[in-house]
Structure 1
C-alpha cells in the first residue's frame, strides 16, 4: 500500500511538472507574454551603475544653436565651419548625424572641401518610405559630397511592437544588407588602419531577396541605454564655434554631431526603455550609445527563442518537481526565492554577460502554477479534513464518555457515603439547621454542606472533590465565519477529546497492578506499562524490542515453549494462561490473548501478574502442613500409644507417672501450636495494631517468664533497669514481649550452666538497639544465613538433644519487620552470640 501511494504521488507530481513545463515551452516559444518581457527588460536595464564615457563627445544642435542659426536646415557653411573646427581639434572620428541628400547652393563647395580635408567623417544613410506605391528609398549624401565622404553608415533603429526602440540591426539595406550601422562605421574610422569586424557574423543573410520594397537586415543587437543623462559629455554646437577653447578638449575624442533640440523640425527623437526626458532620446545619443556598446563589447545579444523556451521549460519542471518534496510551510518561501533567483539571473545575464534571457514566462507560469497547486492542496486538505472530522467524531462518539452530567444530589450523596459530609441542602431550603455549614456557590446557586470531623487526609480529599466540582468544563469554541477556520476548530475539538482519551487510557494502564505488553503481528513490542517495565527491566530504553526475546527471558513452568504458545494464540485466537519465572526469581502468571482485526491488523496482548507473594504463601503453607503432619502429630501419637499400653497392661504404669507423661506431651503440642499460630499471624497480611508500648516493662515481663529456666541452669541474667528512663515504642505489646522472651529463651537454652546473659540498650539519632548477649557456643558463618528460616536448627543442638522446633527466630524476624525494624546477629564460634533488635528513630515515641 505504501509503495502504491508513493508511486501515485511521484507520478502525479511528475505529470503536473511535465504539463507545466510543456505549457511554458509553448508560451515562451510563441512569445505570448512578450509585452511583459519587454517591461521586465526595461526595468532590469534601468538597474545599472557605470562610470561616464570620457572618450565620446556629443556636439549638440540644441535650442541655443537654433536661436543663433535659425530653424533647420542651416546654411551648409555653418556645417563646413564645424567640420573645420573638428579637423583642427584632431578628433579621432566624426559621426555627423545630419543628412545632406541634395545639393543646394554654392556653399556646398565649402562643405565638400571641409569633408575632404577631414577624412575621418561618417555621414548617415536613411531609408525613407515614399508612400505612393510602398516603395522604399535609401537617402544618401548628394553625389559630390558622397564622393569625398570617407564612409557612410545606415541610421535605422528598430522599434518593438510597443513602439519603443530597444535595438538595432548592425547591417541593413534595401533588398540586401549592404550598409553597416552608422556607429559601426564610426568605430571603424576610430580604429584607424585596423578594420572593425561586426559581431554576430553567423547571423548574416545567406540569400538576399533584392526586393526594393523590403529592408533586409541581419545581426540584431540590443542597445544598453544609459540612465545617466550625463553619461556622454555634451558641447553646444554654437558654443564650440564661438569658443575655440572647447576644441582643445576634443583631441583624440570620438565626436557625434546631431540634433538634440526637441523643437527642431524633423528632429530624430525615439522612445527608449530608460526613464528620462519623457523616455525619448535624440538619435545622435542613440548612435553614441551604440558606439560605446560596440567599442566595449557591451551590446546585448538576445538569446535564441528555442534556447529560451527549453530553459524556461526546465526551470518550471524543476520547480514543480521539487515543490511536493519540500515542507509545506516553507513552500512559499522557496518559491519566492526561486522567483527572485530567476529575476537575479536575468539581471546578471543582462549586465554581466550582456545577454537578454527573457524568462518572464516561466515566472508567470510558476506563480500561476503555484497558486493552482495551492488550490489543489487546499481542496485536498479540505477533503482530508472532512474525512478526518467524520472519523474522529465517529470514534469520539463511540469512545468512553468521561464527562457525565451527574447531578449535584448524586455527588453529595456519594460524599456522604464516603463519610466526608453529614448532610447538605440548598440555601433556599429552610428545613434543617447545620451547626458548621460550608457555603458553596455552584452554577450560580448556593449550597450548604456540613462536613464530618475530617482528618487531614480526609480534608484534602474533600477539598479536591469540591474543587473538581466547582471547575467548569472546557467550553467549545464559537462558530467562526470562515469554512476552513470552522473545520480546523472541529478537528481541534475532536483531536483534543481523542488525546484526552488516549492520556486517560495510558495513565489507567500505568496504574494497573498487572503488567501489560502490547505487540503487533510482526512480533514487535510497541507498548508496555510501568508495571511491565518493573517486572521486566529489559523493556526499558529500547527502540525496537522483539516479543520473543522478552518472552524467552522467562522460564516456563511446564513442558512447553513460547514459540508454540504464541503460535497457538495466533492460530486459534484463544487466550492462554501459563506460569513463568523471571531471571530474578519472581513468579509470574502470564496471560496471552489476541486482539484481532483492529484497523485490519492483529495484536497480541500479554498480561503479567506478579504471584510471587502467593507462591511464597503456598510454599509456606506446604511447609506448615508438613510440620503439622510430623512434629505436631508426634506428641499426639505418643499419647495414644501410652493410653493403648495402659489399657492393655495397666499394671505396668503408675497413675502419677502416666499423668505426668501425658501432661508433658500435651504441653509440647500446645507449645508447637502457639508458636505456629503466632508465626502465621505475624507473617500474614492481617493488620496488627501498633500502639505505644513501654520497652522496660516488656523486658521485665520477659525476665519473669524466663527466670525459672535460668535458675535451673544457674545462669545469671544481667540488666540494669535504673540506667534507663522509660522508653516508649510504637509496637504491639504481645508481639514485643514474645520477641524478647524468644531471644532470652534461646540465650539461656544454648548457654552452659553457671554462665551469664547480658541485656543492654543503645539509643542515638538513628534509632534504638536492644542487645541480648549469651556465652554459648556461637554460630558458624555457614549457618548465619539460615537461622532465621522456619524449622531450621543447628546440627550440634539436635545431636545434643536440645529441645526446639526452629520457629523462634523466624517469628522474631517477622515481628520486627511489622514494627518497621530488623534483627541482626553477631557471633563467633566459642565466644557466644549477640542478637540485636533494631528499632528505627520513627518507632520511638517522645514524651
Structure 2
C-alpha cells in the first residue's frame, strides 16, 4: 500500500494552529495507544506532559491516581476526570487519516454539565426525602383500613389519603416544572386558545368537585378564540391548581365560579370561591406570595398555588388573590393576550358570575 508524502512543516504548523483554536484538547494516539501528537490545550487542560511515545492510558492512570490502568475500551466509551474544580470528559474515536490505525482523543471541559447533573441528583434526593413521609402515611392508613376500620376513619379515612396523594402529586409536578423550565426556549412556546383550555380543565375537575360536594360553574361566552402563547400543558396545570385549591377548600354545598375577562392587553382567569378567605388575607389587600401557605398544614396546602405562580411568571403573567366580598377569595391569573380585543365579550361573563355568587350568598 502506498501513502502520500508526509506533511510539510508549514502544513504541520497550520494543522496545529487549527487544533489550538478548538474549544477542546486533542491527543492523537498510535495503534498501541502511544501519544503520537497532542495539542497544547490538551496538555494544559490535563495538566500533564504529553510526550510523544508515552503510553497515554498508563500516564492518565498515574496522573489521576486510578486504582487500575485504563483498558483499551475505556477511552472509547469515555471517562471523566477531575482537575481541581474542573471536570473533563475524555473520549476516543478512530482517526480519519487514510491508512492510520490509531485513534484521536478529545478532551472537553464539561464542568457546567457535571454541576447540573449533581444539582439534579441532589434535587432527586430531596424529592425522595419529601415523598417518604406522605407515602408512609398512605401505606399506614391502608393497612389500618384493613385491620381497624373505626381507627381508619378517626385518622381521616379516604379524605386523608386523598389529601396525601394530592400532596405527593404536587411535589412531583414541582420537580418536573423546575427541571423543564431551566431548559425552555422561545421556540418551545406555542399559540393556543385559552377558552378551549379552560373548558377542558373544568371538564376534568367535575369529578373532584362532585366528590367534594361543590358546584363548579364556568361562565364563558361563545366568542372568538382568546389566543395566548406558552407551554399549554404548564398553563393548564397552573389554572387547574388554582381551581382545584378553591374546590377543595370550599365547604360542601358551596360553589366555585370560573370566568374570563380582558384587562390592559392581558386575559385574566378569575376563580371565585366562598371558602372563608386565605389565611392572612385582609380586606383591600392582595396576596401574591403563596410560599408560606404550603407550610401551614402537613398536606402542603398552597403548594399548588406556589407552582401556579412560577408557571405564570415564566409566561410573563401574574397570580394574586383578594377577598371577593362573598365570604371567600377571588384568584386572578393574568396572562399576556395575543388578541386582547377578542376577549371583550368575556368581561360580561365575569359580571354575570359576580352576580350569580351574590345571589347564591343571599339564598
TM-score, reference length from structure 1? 0.22
**Considering only CA atoms, is the larger Rg found in Structure 1 or Structure 2?**
1
TM-score, reference length from structure 2? 0.48
Larger RCO, structure (CA 8 Å, separation 6 or more): 2
